[in-house]
Structure 1
């Protein structure tokens, strides 16, 4: 039963990306770990492929509308690509299975990943609930602050490599504030960056992990189906109205993960 629910929720990942331009990746790891019983380290690898493929499909509609700034994507993406690939290829395999102990309580690699992911979920939920969306004027000269954009790319790439989340809630404000992209273009550019860096990060896992391609392609296909549904629903449901509700859901999920992993 939980497996059926897990597959059904794969479409929700895509629907979220289609409706609000983000949030889907924050659901992927809990679905894989808690409903489909895949270990957290392998789940982060699967998450990279699922989120990357779904975001790539989602970015096509923005490309057709001219809402992707390719120069910004390249400036942000190159350091992000390097960080996520090196993190998946070398850093994650080098992390020991047992990290440290507090008395009789042992913190292992799987627990560390889930706790860190829960903290990322808390940041994402705060971003969605407060809805402090940075505004950018439509007709304004773009500002390419290369060092800041590159530094943000390194941080997001490393975070993506560790927990398998796309990091759209970090990328979009950075593109609006640092480059002054209009919001819609920031979302389109973010989806392209997420797609590229997630798929490159997944490549770093090839050879390190045994991949169940049949499962991964089916799950990803359902997520991609969801993004088409989400994009269609934007004609009837404003994404911004859903963002706060989704943010509260993500907050509850984060609390659940912390309680389950640390207390129970």
Structure 2
């Protein structure tokens, strides 16, 4: 089982390294259907894995000066509280309903990835080629930023995704970070969100370390490989292939879990 967990975690890490995000969307289906975990243990394990992989990724971005630590700390502390809150809300949600919600998020993320090209998105939102992190000049009020941080944290806690597809736009549009800086900063925010969510789940879910540790090890190691390969492959091509893949998985998951939710036991 540990070798299977290692291999599946490696797949998650490879996608994360190639695309700079999105790998966490694969974690829940692989943990539930590949390793046979129930919904809540799968979400708790996903949070642990997402946190490890995001920590590895944030280290690379930090060396390039693409992490705004003050922004990440402010956003991430609130996000961590949101993750803790989300994990407690999840206690009230049936596991099947959690998976249906997760499948809907997969479809949203897949459609969004098909509609936005990485290079165009960066230019449209003010991407800068400089190697040093640009100063953040918030456009929105502190209350709006705090609400966004809490909301993304709650989502992380409820369904176990990193939430980068929400955190990055929030950092760009509300805090006015350049796209590259937003990506790097979001990884550190994801770490803090995942910590909050994980602590909440550990209060009522047992983490199977024989699965969680090799899964996280595979994800962390292959994130490095994926990051190196991403320099040689077309980001748009990779994004389209991955988006189609998660759309297919999302539809299948939504049908399976939706029917289970509607069918009386």
What's the TM-score, normalizing by structure 2? 0.87
Which aligned pairs between 1:59-208 and structure 2 lie closer than 5 A? 59-88=58-87, 90-93=88-91, 95=92, 109-131=94-116, 133=121, 134-138=124-128, 142-144=136-138, 145=140, 146-208=142-204
| 221, 228, 231: which one aligns with 1:225 | 221
Does residue 248 of the first structure (1) align with residue 232 of the second (2)?
no
Q: Answer whether contact 1:142 1:179 (CA < 8 A) is retained.
A: yes
Distance in 1 (CA, whole Å) between partners of 2:152 and 2:71 is 15
- SS of aligned partner of 1:204: helix
Task: Render the CA deviation track for 1:120-152: whole Å, top value 9, x for unaligned.
Answer: 111111110101635214287633232222111
In structure 2, what is the equivalent of residue 211 of structure 1? 207
Task: Render the CA deviation track for 1:138-182: whole Å, top value 9, x for unaligned.
Answer: 287633232222111111111111100001111111111112211
Task: Render the CA deviation track for 1:87-139: whole Å, top value 9, x for unaligned.
Answer: 22x3223x16xxxxxxxxxxxx1210110001111111111010163521428
Distance in 2 (CA, whole Å) between partners of 1:241 and 1:183 is 19
Task: Render the CA deviation track for 1:211-257: whole Å, top value 9, x for unaligned.
Answer: 21122111110111110111110221133331122111111111000
In structure 2, what is the equivalent of residue 53 of structure 1? 52
Q: Answer whether contact 1:53 1:220 (CA < 8 A) is retained.
A: yes
Distance 1:7 1:259, change over 3 A: farther
Q: Answer whether contact 1:21 1:191 (CA < 8 A) is retained.
A: no
In structure 1, what is the equivalent of residue 40 of structure 2? 41
Q: Answer whether contact 2:82 2:193 (CA < 8 A) is retained.
A: no
Moved beyond 6 Å, runs of 4+ = none
Distance in 1 (CA, whole Å) between partners of 2:127 and 2:245 is 31
- SS of aligned partner of 1:190: helix
- SS of aligned partner of 1:201: helix
Q: Answer whether contact 1:130 1:244 (CA < 8 A) is retained.
A: no
What's the TM-score, normalizing by structure 1? 0.88
Q: Answer whether contact 1:75 1:149 (CA < 8 A) is retained.
A: no
RMSD: 2.0
Q: Answer whether contact 1:56 1:196 (CA < 8 A) is retained.
A: no
Distance in 2 (CA, whole Å) between partners of 1:22 and 1:42 is 22
Distance in 2 (CA, whole Å) between partners of 1:13 and 1:77 is 23
Per-residue deviation, 1:3: 8.4
